[in-house]
């Protein structure tokens, strides 16, 4: 592609996550720095189809780096999943004279970007924004670190009351079909058990493990359950099973829910978002397209967007072991 980039559109798409605003700010200000135009697209692909645009300059993004959510709002667009929808979207993009798109979102959003780019030879660049950390090609997605802190702070509070009452708590956390949040927040919160989709212990071993934990002198226990875990049908069914088999325990369930998606981003997520925004825009200016920006160790990297979508990162087995050792 040899298009000169004069105007970039930026959107947030799919589930929102802390750090999205910081990334928007970075995209907008990097455009300003390089003296090209930047257009905010509201409500993701749906807003692109509807031409819901707003010209943005460096001042439009004042005081948003510390805000959760996304000032551009987010949505899932069924229309964009049709060829017709995408044709309209392309027409709107041309009408607005957009030369490239920065999409902040998760793998669903990247699939959309990839298809759009291929169909219309349109430059796109992805920034991974999801609390689930389930994207290949980056060690960390925007919002993941903040969500971990939110979960750990909530479990710290639950533990106060758990240890006051000799209770067993099941805490369900987000993460769709992967266990990143559960595993890391579980280790961080000192959970006695962590149930993740990647490793199914089975109900019987859960009971045995809880018995062992009680015998070892622990009077209360926290079990972190990933929402995608399949040990029980769901966390409430699991509670019933445990209460039947361990009648000495009073079990309580906490479903943390959408508070995990919000909150002021952690320093890590803000810095990562700022670096990713710069990298995304400057990569487009260098003529690159169809990549996702990522971080590996301390460095910014690019990953072909199709690999980001299709690739699978295996769960960190070392961390599972750490969890086992910590619950000795």
Interaction residues for its own copies, span 44-63 (CB under 8 A): 58-59, 62-63
Q: Does 211 bind its own copies (CB under 8 A)?
A: no
What track of x and - describes contact with its own copies for positions 230 through 269 (by CB under 8 A)?
Answer: ----------------------xxxx-xxxxxxxx-xxx-
User: What Cα–Cα distance (Å) separates residue 127 from each residue in 45, 145, 189?
Assistant: 15, 15, 29
Q: Does 215 bind its own copies (CB under 8 A)?
A: no
> Closest Cα partner for 143 from 282, 305, 297, 258?
258
Q: Which stretch binds its own copies (CB under 8 A): 97-105, 111-119, 148-156, 197-205?
A: 148-156
| Residues 206, 209, 211, 215, Cα dihedral to 10° | -170
Q: Which stretch binds its own copies (CB under 8 A): 80-88, 103-111, 228-236, 317-325?
A: 317-325
Q: How does strand 53-56 pair with strand 221-226?
A: unpaired
Instruction: Look at the block and give the residue holding tokens 């929808």.
Output: 85
In terms of phi and psi (left: phi > 0; alpha: psi -120 to 50; beta: otherwise), the region of 148 is alpha
Q: Which stretch binds its own copies (CB under 8 A): 101-109, 200-208, 234-242, 320-328?
A: 320-328
Distance of alpha carbon 215 from alpha carbon 194, whole angstroms: 19
Distance of alpha carbon 300 from alpha carbon 46, whole angstroms: 30
The catalytic residue among 2, 16, 52, 132 is 132
Q: Does 12 bind its own copies (CB under 8 A)?
A: yes
Q: Does 311 bind its own copies (CB under 8 A)?
A: no
Q: Does 285 bind its own copies (CB under 8 A)?
A: no
State which residue, 201 or 301, has the beta carbon closest to its own copies: 301
The alpha carbon of 111 is separated from its chain's Cα centroid by a whole number of angstroms, namely 16
Site residues for its own copies, 76-135, by CB under 8 A, read: none
What track of x and - describes contact with its own copies for positions 16 through 45 (by CB under 8 A)?
Answer: x-x-x----xx--xx-xx------------
Active site residues: 132
């Amino acid at each position: 592609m040899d298009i000169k980039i004069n105007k970039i559109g930026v959107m947030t798409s799919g589930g929102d996550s802390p750090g999205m605003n910081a990334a928007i700010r970075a995209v907008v200000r990097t455009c300003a720095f390089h003296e090209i135009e930047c257009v905010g697209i509201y409500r993701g692909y749906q807003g692109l189809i509807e031409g819901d645009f707003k010209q943005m300059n460096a001042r439009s993004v004042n005081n948003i780096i510390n805000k959760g959510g996304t000032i551009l709002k987010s949505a899932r667009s069924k229309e964009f999943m049709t060829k017709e929808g995408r044709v309209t979207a392309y027409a709107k993009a041309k009408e607005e004279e957009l030369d490239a798109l920065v999409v902040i979102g998760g793998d669903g959003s990247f699939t959309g970007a990839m298809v759009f780019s291929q169909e219309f030879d349109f430059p796109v660049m992805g920034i991974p924004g999801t609390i689930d950390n389930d994207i290949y090609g980056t060690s960390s997605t925007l919002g993941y670190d903040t969500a971990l802190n939110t979960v750990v702070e909530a479990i710290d509070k639950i533990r106060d009351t758990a240890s006051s009452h000799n209770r067993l708590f099941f805490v369900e956390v987000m993460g769709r079909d992967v266990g990143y949040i559960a595993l890391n927040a579980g280790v961080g919160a000192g959970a006695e058990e962590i149930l993740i989709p990647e490793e199914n212990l089975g109900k019987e071993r859960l009971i045995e493990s809880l018995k062992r934990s009680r015998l070892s002198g622990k009077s209360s226990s926290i079990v972190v359950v990933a929402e995608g875990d399949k040990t029980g049908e769901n966390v409430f069914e699991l509670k019933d099973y445990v209460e039947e088999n361990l009648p000495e325990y009073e079990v309580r369930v906490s479903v943390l829910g959408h508070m995990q998606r919000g909150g002021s981003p952690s320093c890590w997520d803000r810095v990562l978002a700022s670096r990713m925004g710069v990298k995304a825009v400057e990569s487009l200016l260098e003529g690159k397209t169809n990549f996702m920006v990522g971080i590996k160790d301390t460095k910014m990297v690019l990953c072909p967007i199709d690999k980001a979508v299709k690739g699978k990162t295996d769960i960190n087995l070392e961390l599972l072991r750490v969890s086992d050792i910590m619950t000795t």
